Amino acid sequence: MTLKTLVTSLVLLAAVLVTLALITDAVAARRQAAVEAAFPPLGQILTVNGHRVHALTRGTGPDLILIHGASGNLRDLLPLIDLLAPTYRVTAFDRPGLGWSDPIPEGTSLRQQALHLSAAATQLSLTDPILLGQSYGGSVALAWALHAPLKPRALVLVSSPSLPWPGTLDPWYRLTDTWAGQNLAIPLAAAFVPESYVDSAITDIFRPDPAPATYLDYIGAGLSLRRQSLLTNTAQVNGLRAQIVEQSVLYPTLTLPIELVHGDADTIVPLTIHSLPLSKILPQAQLTTLPGTGHMPHHAHPQAILAAIHRAATSAALR
C-alpha cells in the first residue's frame, strides 16, 4: 500500500466515523427531546449549590422522604406516594444526575448525594423525617443518617445494598467503567437502544414478580437512557461497592429505628448478603422477609412497605 493510498483510507475512515458520531448525536438528541416532552417534572425544581434538584411533595403529616434506586427517577415511587399521602407529608427526590436533577461534583459519593439531598430537604423546611430508600437509594439513606446535618428519625430500607458483596458487576457496568464504554457504548445506547431491550430490562428487574401493567406509562424509562443519565448512573453503580466498604464500618454508630424489607428471591441485591447480616449488626433493625419476592417489593407488596413505615414512625414517636 502506497503512502497516498494509506492517507486516503485514513481520511475516508475518519469521515465515516465523524458521520456516524453526528448521526448518533442527532438521534440521541431527538430521543432526549421526545422523552423530556412526554415526561416533564412532576414537582418543583429547587436550586442547591447552583444545581437543580427535582422534588415532589404530596400529603400532610410527619415528613417522609423517599429516595429511588439506580437507573430510575422519582416516578418509580408514584404508586407508593399515592398510598402514603393521606398519612404523611411525602417528598420524593430525583437523585443527582437522574430524572430532572442535575449531576453534582463527586456525584458517585453516597455521602455527597446525601448531603445534597439533605440541603434540598432543609430548603423545603422538612423536619424530623423518616427516610425510605429503595435499592441504591437505601445506600444513600444510610449515608444520610451517618453524615447529613438533617438527622432522620428512622430509616426504612427496601431491597437495599448495605454491605460489601463478592464478585463483580455485570458486563454492562464493567464496560462503562472504561474509556470505550463511556465514549462509545453510552452514546450508542442513548441513541439506539430499542424498546424491546427496555421491556426485557424491566422484566429482569422485577423478576420473579410481574411488572405493573402500566409501569411504562408513567416511569419515563427514556429519561434514564439520556447520555448524561447513563454516564451518571453507571459511574454511581461502579463506585458503589467502595462507598459501601467505607461507610459500613460506621453502621454500629446508628441508634435510630431501622426497618429492613427484602424479598428472598431478589437476585440483584441478595437478602443473604445485605439486609439479613445487617439486621444482625444493628440490633434495633427489624427485618421483614418477603417469600418469593424479587427486587421491587414496593410494587409487588406495597402493604408490607406501608406497615414498615408505620412501625418506623411509631418507634420514632411520630405517630
Residue among 104, 99, 141 nearest 309 (CA) = 141
**Residue 124: is its pLDDT beyond 90?**
yes
Compute CA distances 255 → 69, 134, 284, whole Å: 24, 20, 7
Q: What is the dihedral of CA 203, 207, 208, 214, to 10 degrees?
A: -50
**Mean pLDDT in residue range 28-52:** 94
Chain position carrying cell 465515516: 16
**Residue 13: is its pLDDT beyond 60?**
no
What is the number of other CB atoms lying within 10 angstroms of the CB of residue 137?
Answer: 32
pLDDT confidence bin for 160, thresholds 50/70/90: very high
**Residue 10: is its pLDDT beyond 60?**
no
Among the ranges given (78-87, 125-134, 183-192), the one the predictor scored with the smallest mean pLDDT: 183-192
What would the CATH number be for the domain defined by 39-315? 3.40.50.1820
Per-residue confidence (pLDDT) for residue 38, from 0 to 100: 94
pLDDT in tens, 164-184: 999 888 898 999 999 988 998
Mapped onto helix, strand or coil, the DSSP state of residue 136 is: helix
Looking at the DSSP bridge assignments, the partners of residue 92 are: 56, 66
pLDDT confidence bin for 22, thresholds 50/70/90: confident
CA 203 to chain centre: 17
Looking at the DSSP bridge assignments, the partners of residue 156 are: 132, 259
pTM of the full structure: 0.93
- Alpha-carbon distance 33 to 103, whole Å? 18
Answer yes or no: are the C-beta atoms of 145 and 151 closer than 8 Å: yes
- Alpha-carbon distance 319 to 276, whole Å? 27
Q: Domain map of the chain by residue range? A: 39-315
pLDDT in tens, 254-302: 999 999 999 999 999 999 999 999 999 999 999 999 999 999 999 999 9
Compute CA distances 145 → 45, 110, 157, 247, 248, whole Å: 24, 11, 12, 11, 12
Among the ranges given (59-63, 184-188, 210-214, 227-231), the one the predictor scored with the smallest mean pLDDT: 184-188
Over pLDDT 90: what percentage of the chain? 82
**Mean pLDDT in residue range 9-34:** 74
pLDDT in tens, 211-232: 999 999 999 999 999 999 999 9
**Mean pLDDT in residue range 34-60:** 96
Specify the pairing of strand 63-67 against strand 154-158. Answer: unpaired
pLDDT in tens, 145-156: 999 999 999 999
Tell me what the pLDDT averaged over the chain comes to: 93
Q: What is the dihedral of CA 167, 172, 175, 179, to 10 degrees?
A: -130
In degrees, to the nearest 5, what angle opens at C-alpha 132 toward C-alphas 130 and 135?
Answer: 160
